[in-house]
Amino acid sequence: MQIDLIALIVDEYDPAIAFFTGVLGFDLVEDSPSLTTDGRPKRWVVVRPPGAQTGILLAQADGDRQHAAVGDQAAGRVGWFLRVDDFEATHRRLTDAGVVFVREPRDEPYGRVAVFVDIAGNRWDLLGHPPERAQVDID
């Protein structure tokens, strides 16, 4: 059993695809035409970090309630967590690409972390691996 996709409500497909693929470096897994339950056209757009199993379904907001949720799907909390192998290089690359960090990097027991916002305004943790604990040799 695994979580295959999570949905992220965005204003428009194409700028969201550009952000997730061009800025964050995700893969565009699928971009197919689809229909709403009442027959209007929409798209099935899936992005995924390279090598990850779980993807993000980019869902274009439809209606007042969904438009109101864009950028606040986790009610102001961090709702997404992106673990990277090289925190410093990724943080620098994202900063250079114009990504807005709302909390500067800090060290926590679970790893190095900094909070950024995506194209819609949702908060993400950029996570590095926790520091390796020094091993003590016992003779």
Q: What is the pLDDT of residue 37?
A: 84
For CA atoms 73, 78, 81, 84, give the dihedral sign: positive
Q: Cβ–Cβ contacts within 10 Å for residue 21, how many?
A: 13
**Percentage of the chain modeled with pLDDT above 90:** 87
Q: Which one-letter amino acid corresponds to residue 106?
A: R
pLDDT at 134 over 50: no
Instruction: Let me know how long the chain is.
Output: 139
pLDDT single digits (tens) 17-48: 999 999 999 999 999 998 888 888 899 999 99
- pTM listed for this prediction: 0.89
b/e for 26-56, b at 16 or more Cβ within 10 A? Answer: beeeeeeeeeeeeeeeeeebbbbbeeeeebb
Domains of the chain: 1-70 (3.10.180.10), 72-139 (3.10.180.10)
